[in-house]
Structures are given as C-alpha cells and as structure tokens.
Amino acid sequence: MRVAIVGAGIGGLALAHGLVKAGVDVTVYERDPSPRHRNQGYRIHISPVGEEALAALLPDAVRRRVIETATHPGDLLAGFDSQLKPMFEQVFPGGGPDRVTAVDRYAFRRALMTGLDDVLVFGKQFESYVVDGDEVGIRFADGTSATADVLVGADGVGSRVRAQVVPDFEVADIGVRCIYGKVPLSPAVKSLVPQAFLRGFSFVSNGRGAGAAFAPVLFRTPPEEYGDYLMSVLTGTNAVLGCADDELSAMSPADLWSIVARVTASWHPTVRELVASAEVDAAFPITLRTCRRVATWPVSRVTLLGDAIHPMTPAAGAGANTALWDAVRLTRALTEETPVLEALTSYQRDVTPHGQAAVTESLENAQRLFSVTI
C-alpha cells in the first residue's frame, strides 16, 4: 500500500514512523521549504497518552532522540495572582530518567524527522485531490502531482485536505489572543525566577482578563539554534491587550512585546523583570481557535488526522497528544489484514469520540482560564 501524508507536523511524522516500521510505502509532503524553516519553538506538554503513542510508533533510535532532546520533566501546575500570591498548586508524580513530560516543538519535530530522509519531501504545498477508483491523485501548488492508495490530511488547523473533504467544517475564534515569547534562562534570570516557574506550568492572572503563562524548557540536549528558556505567554482579548487584530498582525516582535510590558506594568516586580529579560525577537501573536464538534466525513481513500480533525485551544495541553493518539489508531487500522475502506471506517469511528472529549475539555478549560464565553 502507498500512503501519502500531507503535513510533516507532529501527527504526520509520528504516523510516518508507525507505517514505515510496518513496511508500508509512505511519502510525507510538507509545504515548508526545509526542516529548519520557522524554527520558532514553543513548549508542548506531553501527557501519558502522548508518551504511550510515541513508544508504540517510534523505532528505538528515534524514541531515544526524542527523549534526549526533551526537557527535564516537570511536576507542578500552579496559579498565582498578579502579585505572585499563590492561588492553587497541583503536584504530579515524578518519573524515571526517560520520562518525557514536555518538549520544544522545533526540537521535537527535528527528532521525529530522524530516519525519515527517504520519506520526507519539503516544499510541496498540497492543493487538491481526486479519487479515481482505487487511487488518489494529488496536486501541489508547484504544478506537480503524485498518486497514492490512501491520502492522509495531517496538515493542521487550517487543513486544505479537510477543506475538500468537509467543506462546511467550522473553526471558531474564541476571542483570546496570545503574545508568545521566550525568556532565555541565563544564570541571572534563573536566580530571580520563582522556583515554581521552573518546576512546571504556572499561570499568573490579574483577575480582570489578563493572564501570563510561564513554563520552563530545560533541555536534556538543546538544539543547535538556542538553549534553555522560560516560555512566557500573555493572554487576553483584544480589549485587554488594547489592540485590534489587524494591528497585532502588522506589529514587529518588539512592538508586540511592548504590549506585554504595558499590560504587566503593575504586576509583581519579578514578573516585570522577567518580561524585561525576554528575547524580544522571538515574540509572535497567536489567535486561539477551536472547533465545537470534531470533523466527521464519508469514508473514502482520503482521511484526516490531528488538528485537521479536531482543532482545539492549547488550554488542555491535548492537541499534540490527541494527534499522536490518532497516529497510533491509523497505523493500526492501515496495517491490519482488513480491506482499506473497512480499516478507515473503524479508524474514523475511533477518532471522533476521542477527539471530541479532548475538544470539550479544552473548551471548558479555556472558558475558566481566560474568562470567556464560547
């Protein structure tokens, strides 16, 4: 069987490993021109579901690379008010030396690309497909084409494959904007940062709609491009940030970061010092989007995976973990001795309720965390 995967994101790469391990002929088509493109990393929490999926899908050498490039495991979820008065704290059991609880997205994807040189094709932006009998024809933006027995759309929240499979699928803007940034963990910053911020995920809220999340990325082995950092993200509506969307999207990283400094100007001095220590050029804006109902679609030789089926806010730390779970299910379905359409029927039956549970949890968390009604 020849499987074409559109998108070398977290789900697409994990699926590729699972299928290659089972001897399936796989090609992954990625629109980015190279693996180093867009090296902006952000921290991704890996849950036991994600860890289990990685163990099931990855060959040993790739799994070791993921473990080596992950962060040292964290054990804390904590909340503070804007003067850093503790509001809540939850401690999680620690793990063994190979435990993976968080990764940097760039380092993680690079690790997941290990051993896939013959499978990955960069600079291929998917445009459309045509199902013709037992074959799927695929067209790319550069005018080239390919064929496969099964096409998997693993092309993320704005999936073009999904746009053709489920044209009326709705992805809603929840009204929350994030300004994402990095504070490099220099010795000086490490000495001022509250210990809780180095132990896991901390959320600081002013109780009036502005929040800031902090979480450490303390690499076991850092990528070549950068070292340890404290992920630092401001969240709020346009009104809270004092800025409309068209202004946000046109701003330089330095101007974006000046919004963070302005909104946190009356917060605890340590927060202000952290904000002042950020790598300003790393700032970028994010719009939080979600579906309410995960995608369902008629079974054919074209299927979907990850954010393409169930885009969700990061508020449950579940999008990547759910994509990895999907990849395990799809690998299993496509490598069983079952006719392909039956296999895809059972895959689609599995991923709908599982994805819906994660979307619902992320929606509920987002409403609580960001004080919005969705």
Ligand X SMILES: Cc1cc2nc3c(=O)[nH]c(=O)nc-3n(C[C@H](O)[C@H](O)[C@H](O)COP(=O)(O)OP(=O)(O)OC[C@H]3O[C@@H](n4cnc5c(N)ncnc54)[C@H](O)[C@@H]3O)c2cc1C
Residues that bind ligand X (CB under 6 A): 6-12, 29-32, 42, 44-45, 125-126, 154-156, 160, 180, 286, 306-308, 314, 317-321, 323
Q: Closer CB to ligand X, residue 274 or residue 315?
A: 315
Q: Closer CB to ligand X, residue 198 or residue 324?
A: 324
The helix or strand, by DSSP H or E, that contains position 158, with its residue range, turns out to be none
Cβ of residue 117: shortest distance to ligand X, in angstroms? 17
Q: Closer CB to ligand X, residue 139 or residue 190?
A: 139
Contacts of residues 275-281 at CB distance under 8 Å and 24 or more positions apart, as own/partner, are 275/183, 275/232, 277/183, 277/184, 277/186, 277/188, 277/189, 278/181, 278/182, 278/183, 278/232, 279/181, 279/182, 279/183, 279/184, 279/229, 280/181, 280/253, 280/254, 281/253, 281/254
Q: Closer CB to ligand X, residue 32 or residue 75?
A: 32
Q: Closer CB to ligand X, residue 83 or residue 370?
A: 370
H helix runs in 194-277, sequence order: 195-199, 238-241, 245-250, 253-263, 269-276
Q: Which residue is nearest to ligand X (CB)?
A: 9
Are 150 and 3 in contact, with CB atoms under 8 Å apart?
Answer: yes
- If you compute the radius of gyration of the chain from its CA atoms, what whole number of angstroms results? 21
368 burial level (CB within 10 Å; 0-12, 13-18, 19+): exposed
- Residue 179 backbone dihedrals phi, psi, to 5 degrees: -115, 115
Cβ of residue 258: shortest distance to ligand X, in angstroms? 20
Q: Closer CB to ligand X, residue 5 or residue 263?
A: 5
Q: Closer CB to ligand X, residue 65 or residue 182?
A: 182
Cβ of residue 153: shortest distance to ligand X, in angstroms? 9
Give the Cα-Cα-Cα angle 284, 90, 42 (nearest 5 degrees).
Answer: 20
Say how many residues make up the chain.
374
Cβ of residue 165: shortest distance to ligand X, in angstroms? 13
Cβ of residue 178: shortest distance to ligand X, in angstroms? 7
Cβ of residue 9: shortest distance to ligand X, in angstroms? 2
Cβ of residue 83: shortest distance to ligand X, in angstroms? 26
